[in-house]
Amino acid sequence: MSAYSLFQELHSVFRYVVMVLFIYTILMALIGWFGNRPYTNRNRLSNLFALISAHTQLLIGIVLYFLSPLVQFNSATMKDSTLRYFTVEHWVMMVIAIALITVGHSKSKKLVLPEAKHKTIALFYGIALLIIIGALAAGKIPILK
């Protein structure tokens, strides 16, 4: 198995971990926000694990970016939708999503009121998840194989 195949498989499989953690975290935040629930250590850990999983996926993706034959820097790249997607579009959208996740996590840590913490996580992580899903849909990458 080549390094490219290994990282491609790792990146592909780990996306399920990221998606499950994000859906769980966003649901917990929405329940906490609209249900006026306390912000517990379970919420904090869920937010943190979702953040860590996204950053881990980013690191795997960075390695994959430099190994992938679909990432090319030549005159044909922008004319070919597949090459353009993997060379430019995918990573840009994912970095934006991860920046939102990081900002949301950081902001929530500084807040005191449980409602504000839940709301911040729900909004920032939710928007990031929409961007991630949009990025996968733009590249016609199935979330579930």
Domain boundaries defined on the chain:
3-138
Assess whether pLDDT exceeds 90 at residue 145.
no
The pLDDT of residue 117 is 98
Average pLDDT over residues 65-69: 95
Question: pTM score, two decimals?
Answer: 0.92
Assess whether pLDDT exceeds 50 at residue 144.
no
Assess whether pLDDT exceeds 70 at residue 37.
yes
Q: Classify burial at 75, counting beta carbons within 10 Å of its beta carbon; exposed 0-12, middle 13-18, buried 19 or more.
A: exposed
The phi, psi pair for 128, rounded to 5°, reads -60, -40
Reported as a single tens digit per residue, the pLDDT across 26-35 is 999 999 999 9
Average pLDDT over residues 29-53: 98
